[in-house]
Amino acid sequence: MKIGFSQAATQKLMELATSEIQKKSSHELKRRVEKTASTKKLTSSEALEAFRYGVISKVLAEEYIIAYGYSGAEAAVLLKTAEVKYKMIAPKTPSKK
């Protein structure tokens, strides 16, 4: 006698749970952005996370990062790294000569 969920049902439950966690994370992050926007600046980590979830634009994330003392070039590297790390864009492969 087998007790439990089938592999397909287990996979579906995991997908639903992951989706709900992402929704909650995105909603909570948006709430924090709105709350802190009027009282203080986001940290560079929070700005990168908000950008990752699409809560704020790349330009706004860059402004927050620069406000914390990073140069424009450093901010660009952090944002590009986030894009590649979270597969927001495809990484560029070095050309072979």
Asked whether residue 69 is assigned to any structural domain, the reply reads yes
Q: Is the pLDDT of residue 97 over 70?
A: no
Q: Mind spelling out the 3-state secondary structure of 5-66? A: CCHHHHHHHHHHHHHHHHHHHHHHHHHHHHHHHHHCCCCHHHHHHHHHCCCCCHHHHHHHHH
Residue 36 pLDDT = 57
Asked whether residue 53 is assigned to any structural domain, the reply reads yes
Q: Is the pLDDT of residue 91 over 60?
A: no
Asked whether residue 91 is assigned to any structural domain, the reply reads no
Asked whether residue 20 is assigned to any structural domain, the reply reads yes
Q: Could you read off the pLDDT of 38-76 as tens digits, one per residue?
A: 556 778 889 999 998 888 999 999 998 998 889 999 999
The structure's pTM equals 0.51
Query: What's the structural domain count of the chain?
Result: 1
